[in-house]
Structure 1
Amino acid sequence: MKYNFNERIERKNNHSAKWEEMDKKFISNDLWPMWIADMDLKTAPEIINSMKEKVEQGIFGYVYRPDSYYRSASNWCERRFGYKLDPGTLINSPGVVPTLSILIRQLTEVGDSIIIQSPVYYPFACVVKDNNRNLVENYLIKDKNNKYIIDFDDFEKKIIENQVKLFILCSPHNPVGRVWTREELERLSNICLKYNVRVISDEIWRDIIMPGFAHIPTASINKVIEKNTITCFSPTKTFNLAGLQSSFVVFPQKKEWENFDRELGILDIKRNNPFSLVAFETAYTQCDTWVNELNNYLNENMDYVINFINENLPLIKTKKPEGTYLMWLDFSALNLNKDELSKFLQEKAGVAVDDGFWFGETGAGFERINVACPRYMLEIGLNKIKDAIDKSF
């Protein structure tokens, strides 16, 4: 491999939320961090070098976005997913969650129903409720192979009964790790078209895909679906740049692009910071090989976790994700309620993981762990869980 993903990086004393803000959600900062979706891996050296050049100039004033910025994102999409985007349909935003909040206010009214597919990234539910909209949940279900699938009948039924106006899709899905197939996306989209439901497709995980799977941009399925779909994506998860707080939105309808641009102007958040500008363009023009090798490394980390669980933790069940660098672990065999499980993992195992119930009521009994880290971090964290379970069960 050209890149070393096993390098140990000291993240303490660097204002890291993952390492030094645990006490806001957990009992202390003295836990082993396996939570929050950022990586304990350095970003691509090409990105680091481009940012060093910006630092060495020593001036960090206002910046504008050259045409090449949006072209780089468009070209990446065509190169990686075979979907050609018009750069003119793209707009920069501070992040996916702020984008969702703005779009909810622009596309719906107070009291309107918005549907999500639980268990799902918990800010989805928060942003719906915080904007005084009615949250509707279509619960993912497991098939006989323990694989999460979509309950399409329930999806359509909930849309009809609640007169749903907007669907927020997570593709690939966080936390269950599904990479939706073309057939699944087309069926969801056609139901939405049937009942005049707009689709926001959050595709921030689209680059982190395991071997044997392929991400399909929802808007790429056909022109009718494309016109009904607003897509959010960003290099932040892929390249560990979340702290730069910038993302892309794709608007198929010019009027909606203009409305969104106007709202960013009112809030005075239209500009990039100088580092996101160079980091994002470098990521999308120079870092294909880095992403390919990253995915291979993450795939090996997932295999390590699965082998460790099979050999040492028979009470825990999991299924290898198709995408993302997050694994969804089933602790239900411990027969602990959600609060007892959270307390056990913090107090007895000494680990910080994302509690499954954060992602919706159907997540109770599960925990989400982050495998985007050097292998030694997984070894330490999993052994802490093993030791706690061996002593208590």
Structure 2
Amino acid sequence: MKYDFDTIIPRRGTNSYKWDTPEEENVLPMWVADMDFHTAPAIVEALQERVAHGIFGYTKVPETYYDAVVRWFGNRHHWQINPRWIIYTSGVVPALSAVIKALTDSGDKVIVQTPAYNCFFSSIRNNGCELSANNLIYRGGRYTIDFDDLEAKAADPKVKILLLCNPHNPVGRVWTPEELRHIGDICLRNGVFVVADEIHCELTYGRHDYTPFASLSERFQQNSVTCVSPSKAFNLAGLQIANIIAADDEVRRRIDRAININEVCDVNPFGVIATMAAYNEGGEWLDALRKYLWENYEYLCHFFTERLPQYHVLPLEGTYLVWIDCRASGIGSDATTLRLQEEQKLMVNSGTIYGPGGEGFIRLNIACPRKLLADGLERITHILSKN
């Protein structure tokens, strides 16, 4: 293999949020969404060159940064972006918060398709808005969108925004063009603006291709903004870089103002350098990563089939976060998570933090060397096999 994803790289003692949050040394963290792999060599080389300069003052984002973003999404995802649509900021969560601040008033409602990424809820709450939950339908071991309920929720005049998670975290769906068009049509009919969190867009598998929501029509593009970052796909979360892509001039002006109000308008030189290296030179490494992650998922599925057949592993169309139905245990998500941590020293995410519909599920991060994955699965067996 040209790229090494099997070597276990010690991270404890590096001020890693993932690894250093648990105080005990023998805890295996498979919770927060960062990867236990070195990033692409081209990114490391670009950062080393920048570090060698030795001066790290305020950063002016160059035109070549915008060129890299535009070229990547054009070549990789067939979405033609105008560089002036791009607003850089320090992360997708700050981006979401700024967009909500820009486009809502206190007391407005925001639709979220639950269970959903837990920071959606805090971003809504922190801006004085209310959650309107469009619960996904879980049937036959797979999630779909409840379009009738979405239509009813969107018709509420207090609803101003739909937060779209594409690909969806935590349930692992990659929404099809047909599903996205249905969402877009409902939102247009009801005057609801779409805010698309597409941070996991590079991490899809098989025939489940990522479709940028805004790429489907000019009307959708004008009635939406898209938040993206290389952080998930290239393991760069600590470098604090993301982009908001907004085609509508007035929307972009309001978001830019909110970005400045929230004081998240500056980025660091390493995030800029890493983004350019990722988008200019990281494609081959990313393809190898996706292959390895899919093989990890296949390993996990085989393990559950052989050792824990009473529990259902959800299909993984996108992300590296596996959603597992643990309702057969009868003890609930929080109790399962607590027992895994206390008795087996394994950290996973309880489904309850992802809002309505999350009870009975856990989320497992499989972006790690296979040996660590195997260790984590054995620890899970000691708890789930007892029920």
Q: What TM-score, normalized by structure 1, do the two folds share?
A: 0.95
Quick one: distance in 2 between partners of 1:371 and 1:73? Answer: 27
Q: Distance in 1 between matches of 2:262 and 2:151?
A: 36
1:4 maps to 4
Query: CA offsets per residue over residues 75-117 of structure 1, 9 Å max, x none?
Result: 1001111111111101101111111111111111111111000
Partner Cα separation in structure 1 for residue 268 and residue 185 of structure 2: 38
- Of 99, 102, 123, 1:106 maps to 102
Q: CA deviation at 1:29?
A: 6.2
1:93 to 89, 109, 114: 89
CA–CA distance in structure 2, aligned partners of residues 119 and 298 of structure 1: 23
Contact 2:95 2:259 in 1 (8 A): no
8 A contact 1:208–1:324 mirrored in 2: yes
Residue 82 (1) aligns with residue 78 (2): yes
Cα distance, 1:319 vs structure 2: 2.2
| Aligned residue in 2 for 1:371 | 366
Alignment of 1:324 with 2:333, yes or no, is no
Q: Which runs of 5+ in 1 are unaligned?
A: none
Letter in 1 for 2:91: G
- The CA deviation at 1:143 is 3.1
- Contact 1:306 1:320 survives alignment (8 Å): no
Q: 1:68 aligned to 64, 67, 84, which one?
A: 64
Matched residue, 1:38:
34
Partner of 2:188: 193
Per-residue deviation, 1:158: 1.6
One of 163, 166, 170 as aligned partner of 1:171: 166
- Residues 124-170 of structure 1: CA deviation (Å, up to 9, x unaligned): 011112222111000111233x1100000011112224631110000
Cα 1:181–1:362 change in 2 (3 A) is same
Q: CA deviation at 1:273?
A: 0.6
What's the counterpart of residue 22 of structure 2? 22
Measured in 2, the distance between the counterparts of 1:332 and 1:315 equals 9
- Contact 2:334/2:352 (8 A) holds in 1: no
Deviation at 1:185, TM superposition (A): 0.1
Return the letter of the residue paired with 1:75: R
1:268-319 Cα offsets, whole Å, 9 max, x none, are 4423211111110010000110111111110100000000010111232112
Contact 2:334 2:350 in 1 (8 A): no
Q: How many residues align?
A: 387
SS in 1 for 2:312: coil
d(CA) in 1 for partners of 2:264, 2:136 = 36
**Mapping for residues 330-345 of structure 1, pairs under 5 Å:** 330-345=325-340
TM-aligned CA distance change 1:256 to 1:72, over 3 Å: same
- Which amino acid in structure 2 is aligned with residue 160 of structure 1? A
1:87-236 alignment to 2 at 5 Å? Answer: 87-144=83-140, 146-161=141-156, 163-236=158-231
**1:319-343 deviations in Å (ceiling 9; x for gaps):** 2310001100111101003332222
Question: Contact conserved, 2:166 with 2:197, CA < 8 A, in 1?
Answer: yes
Kept in 1: contact 2:135–2:356 (CA 8 A): no
Report the Cα distance in structure 2 between the residues aligned to 1:310 and 1:381, rounded to whole angstroms: 16
Task: Give the AA of the match of 1:63.
Answer: T
Q: Deviations over 1:4-49 (max 9, x none)?
A: 11111000110001111136xxxx6642111000000110010000
Residue number among 246, 251, 254 corresponding to 1:256 in the alignment:
251
Mapped partners of 1:13, 1:35: distance in 2? 18
Query: Structure 2 CA distance, aligned partners of 1:372 and 1:206?
Result: 15
Distance 2:89 2:25 in 1: 32
Moved more, 248-257 or 369-378: 248-257
- Separation in structure 1 between the aligned mates of residue 263 and residue 103 of structure 2, nearest angstrom: 21
Q: Please say if residues 175 and 327 of structure 1, whose CA atoms lie closer than 8 Å, have aligned partners that are also in contact.
A: yes
Distance in 2 separating the partners of 1:372 and 1:4: 13
Structural RMSD (CA): 1.4
Secondary structure in structure 2 of the residue aligned to 1:248: strand
| SS of residue matched to 1:290 | helix
Kindly indicate whether the alpha-carbon contact (under 8 Å) linking 2:31 and 2:365 is maintained by their aligned counterparts in 1. Answer: yes
Deviation (angstroms), 1:350: 2.1
| Paired AA for residue 307 in structure 2 | N
Q: Secondary structure at the match of 2:267?
A: coil
| Greater mean deviation of Cα atoms: 13-22 or 171-180 | 13-22
- Give CA deviations for 1:41-71 in whole Å, capped at 9, x if unaligned: 1100100000000111111111211111011
Distance (Å, rounded) in 2 between the aligned partners of 1:308 and 1:268: 47
Mark the runs of 5 or more structure 2 residues left unpaired by the alignment: none
CA offset at residue 258 of structure 1? 2.4
Amino acid at match of 1:260: I
Amino acid in the other structure paired with 1:349: Q
SS in 2 for 1:302: helix
Could you say if the C-alpha distance between residues 267 and 127 of structure 1 is closer, same or farther in structure 2, counting changes exceeding 3 Å?
closer
Q: Distance in 1 between matches of 2:279 and 2:287?
A: 13
Q: Distance in 2 between matches of 1:339 and 1:238?
A: 29
